[in-house]
Amino acid sequence: MRPLLLFLACLISVSGLAADRPNLLFIMTDDQGYWDTGATGNPHIDTPYLDSLASDGTQFRRYYAAPVCAPTRAGVMTGRYYLRTGLYNTRFGGDSMGKGEITVAQLLKNAGYRTGLFGKWHLGKYPGYQPQERGFDEFFGHYHGHIERYEFPDQVYHNGTPVEARGYVTDLFADAAIDFMEATVTASDDPFFCALMFNAPHSPWLLDTSHSSQPGGDETLAKYLERGLPLREARIYSLIERVDENVGRVLAKLEELDLAEDTLVIFTSDNGGVSKFWKGGMNGYKSGSYEGGVRAPFFVRWKGTVPAGGMVEGQVSHVDLLPTFCELAGVKLPQDLVLDGKSLVPLLKSGQGDTHHEYVYHTWDRYFPNPDRRWAVSDQRWKLMAQFGTDATPSPSGWRLFDLENDPGETKNLIREKPEIADRLRREFVRWFEDVTDGITYAPIRIPVGPGEDPVEIEPSWATWEGEHINYTFDGYDWDTIDGWKAPGESATWQLDVVEPGTYTVGFSYGCRPLDAGGVLRLSSGDSTIEHSVQATTTAEQFGWFDAGTIELKQGEVEMKAEVVSAPGRELMRLNRIQLERVK
């Protein structure tokens, strides 16, 4: 991990005046597959604005994201494969990008760009990890991998403060981006970097559900059902069409502001797709290392600079975005910054190219990075991969080698015919894996506690837990619980980084059946301990907040443990959150 001081000490040079540098509009969707646009051949989906964006600019046919979202976002922000950043998961505290990482937003902001991110972040929710602390002047969106409500969203934040919003979330994020761009060009001559990160079409696949707006969502859904799509697929296509409409609104605003020739626009997705109705012959889905899991649409438009109708065949990667943006902005990168990406500017300006990266790499295993279970590496023609489930033992007998030039659908395993190619690719993947993981410990982050955010809420997914009956239930991040625990000593433990030592009031959010009430939960950190007598709620799935007293927290890296003292019923409680607030 790189200390931030290196960034602060680095020299930034800007070539030319601000007016000579393009505005940068980066649009990313969530779980939209390569095949989920008309421009990439899908005859069933309506995406006229995305199709126009693609035809007015250049398409990259082999743009690779990571298999899942947070790793791709870390790569986009840093120009480095995610394993270098300490991030390794999409939850359980492993979805926080290391504090020492330098982001593209920091580099661009330091070079005079106004920076904004609207939509999904998913690179850290606690103080020090939030977008407005990582180089963005403005942030409106959500921290988690998905949100549960698409209309009247209640898991959104503005620059670190929880807020409420009215309307449909795809429209809201587009509105925020439009307002940010218009405000920037109205108030100053500074260029902008606007990251519009739609959470659609990630599940839950929800259209408008409010009293006033539901008819519009139902109309779109009905259209795809009439085309013969199953309900699940019709929902996904409807969400993508709603994204398309909002991309159209954003592009229209650029025209209205006379910025189309001054703005580079990139559209892509954060990983492979989840829709199944039509895949254009591709194999695999999100989270896997087949092409369908890692290839994403990638359209680039910059009127007058990027050729219309261009097509790039060379394999490129999400880690290429930071060096691309920086070159366009005239930003000199810190000389000691280890980057995996290479600028795409030559390909953008030519609108063609058959080569870029010699190799592109993929790996994803939720609980701990490893080089054997789910991985892939490709050169411009050949791809070696393995995809083992949790019940299978990784073995070279399960490796697969594909000739992407002649078999883009990955239907024929050629590993027996071409063992020398498989050996070369495997050695290269192991070399890369050892490099990007060297010296890094992968574990849930230590939760910062102190004046940076007061009170701070401790979530179940950041815990490690022990006990025969204890269970962690994932249910949309903010509704997760530690539950099932009932035997004395069964426990959940969190790692904290106490910035400000002292006395903290403790609040518990939990649900408890009336028949289970009366158990005792002990919370301890070092020598300080409190015990709380568990009270009933109307049902175990209804959470209430309960004051539990105060606890002393020492400065620095400490543990905090919650454990069962006694439980008279079938479980102690369903613990949803712990709140710590420093006594002033």
pLDDT for position 316: 98
pLDDT tens-place values along the chain, 584 residues long:
444 444 444 433 443 334 489 999 999 999 999 999 999 999 999 999 999 999 999 999 999 999 999 999 999 999 999 999 999 999 888 999 999 999 999 999 999 999 999 999 999 999 999 999 999 999 999 999 999 999 999 999 999 999 999 999 999 999 999 999 999 999 999 999 999 999 999 999 999 989 989 999 999 999 999 999 999 999 999 999 999 999 999 999 999 999 999 999 999 999 999 999 999 999 999 999 999 999 999 999 999 999 999 999 999 999 999 999 999 999 999 888 999 999 999 999 999 999 999 999 999 988 889 999 999 999 999 999 999 988 899 999 999 999 999 999 999 999 999 999 999 999 999 999 999 999 999 998 899 998 666 799 999 999 999 999 999 999 999 999 999 999 999 999 999 999 999 999 999 999 999 999 999 999 999 999 999 999 999 999 999 999 999 999 999 999 999 999 999 999 999 999 999 999 97
Q: Which residue has the tokens 């960034």?
A: 7
Q: Which residue from 204, 205, 295 is spatially nearest to 241, judged by alpha carbons?
A: 205
Question: What digits encode the pLDDT tens for the residues 180-236?
Answer: 999 999 999 999 999 999 999 999 999 998 998 999 999 999 999 999 999 999 999
Domains of the chain: 22-358 (3.40.720.10), 362-437 (3.30.1120.10), 447-582 (2.60.120.260)
Rounded to whole angstroms, how far apart are CA atoms 496 and 525? 10
Pair 583, 504: CB distance under 8 Å: yes
pLDDT for position 453: 67
pLDDT for position 7: 44
Element (H, E) at 473: strand 471-473
State the number of CA atoms in the 13 A half-sphere of 178 facing the CB: 18
Question: What digits encode the pLDDT tens for the residues 279-296?
Answer: 999 999 999 999 999 999
Q: Report the Cα 248 to chain-centroid distance in Å.
A: 24
pLDDT for position 14: 40
Rounded to whole angstroms, how far apart are CA atoms 353 and 317? 14
Question: What digits encode the pLDDT tens for the residues 6-49?
Answer: 444 443 344 333 448 999 999 999 999 999 999 999 999 999 99
Q: Which residue has the tokens 């005239």?
A: 330
pLDDT for position 419: 98
Name the token pair of 375: 């991985």
Which three-class secondary structure state does DSSP give residue 275? Answer: coil
pLDDT for position 390: 85
Q: Which residue from 72, 84, 81, 90 is spatially nearest to 26, judged by alpha carbons?
A: 72
Residue 265's contacts (CB-CB under 8 Å, 6 or more residues apart) are 25, 27, 53, 57, 251, 254, 300, 301, 302
Question: What digits encode the pLDDT tens for the residues 333-368?
Answer: 988 899 999 999 999 999 999 999 999 999 998 888
Rounded to whole angstroms, how far apart are CA atoms 472 and 562? 14
pLDDT for position 125: 95
Pair 272, 286: CB distance under 8 Å: yes
pLDDT for position 450: 87
pLDDT for position 18: 42
* pTM of this structure: 0.95
How do 544-553 and 502-511 pair as beta strands? antiparallel
